[in-house]
Amino acid sequence: MITIWGRLNSHNVKKVVWAAVEAEVEWQRNDIGGPFGYTDDYLAMNPNRLVPAIEDSGVQGGFCLWESNAILRYIADAYAPQLWSGTPDQRADADRWMDWQFAFADAQRAVFLQMVRVPAEERDKAKVEAGIKATNAMMAILEDRLGKSEWLSGEQFGIADIPMGTYAHTWLALGLDRIAAPNIRAWYARLNERAGYQYVTIPLT
């Protein structure tokens, strides 16, 4: 049993829940972080005061892990190797998009906060415009990549699709001026058919 700690409106928690569903591992989730605050027990497990963290009771003595993309790799290695398979170069090619997601998160953070958590009349237009520009520039790179194969993981779906698959939903759902992105939209349609993606597409809060 994998216990996932973290509020579900967090992008990084959504990623882990989705991966657990894809891996068909038994899992449960407990709210923590954001408005739920933190407990001393949680902070002993993850001193970063961030979500997510997991505990895998299937490992003798229990195994705790934080850092969402490390958790995705662990879940794949331990329970679903088909989600991160291939030769070292194929795995690395997929893996890069997992790290790249953190740069995208930086580009999208301010515009996300402005559009989702700041009332319309108080929004900082400069931050919104800068976020639109920065995310469009990065999505042009993703668009080009998705013209080469159906999945960021290669010829089949894998964990490399999960980080950007999560952030792409937000990018589309924010409803701002976006580049035309037919490859991203086709990939998004495929992601919507995946088990577990419904945990990603909940309303943005």
Ligand X SMILES: N[C@@H](CCC(=O)N[C@@H](CS)C(=O)NCC(=O)O)C(=O)O
- Minimum CB separation of residue 199 from ligand X in Å reads 14
Return d(Cα 155, Cα 175) in angstroms, integer.
29
Among 2, 5, 33, 181, binds ligand X (CB under 6 A): 33
**Of 50-58, 130-138, 143-151, 180-188, which part binds ligand X (CB under 6 A)?**
50-58
Return d(Cα 67, Cα 48) in angstroms, integer.
10
Task: Report yes or no: 199 and 159 within 8 Å, Cβ to Cβ.
Answer: no
**By CB under 6 A, residue 10 contacts ligand X:** yes
Instruction: Using CA atoms of 71, 77, 79, 81 in order, give the dihedral in degrees to the nearest 10.
Output: 130
**By CB under 6 A, residue 50 contacts ligand X:** yes
Among 8, 45, 63, 67, binds ligand X (CB under 6 A): 67
Among 20, 51, 162, 200, binds ligand X (CB under 6 A): 51
Return d(Cα 114, Cα 133) in angstroms, integer.
15
Among 68, 108, 153, 166, binds ligand X (CB under 6 A): 68
Cis previous bond, 47, omega within 30: no
Q: Which residues bind ligand X (CB under 6 A)?
A: 10-12, 33-34, 50-52, 67-69
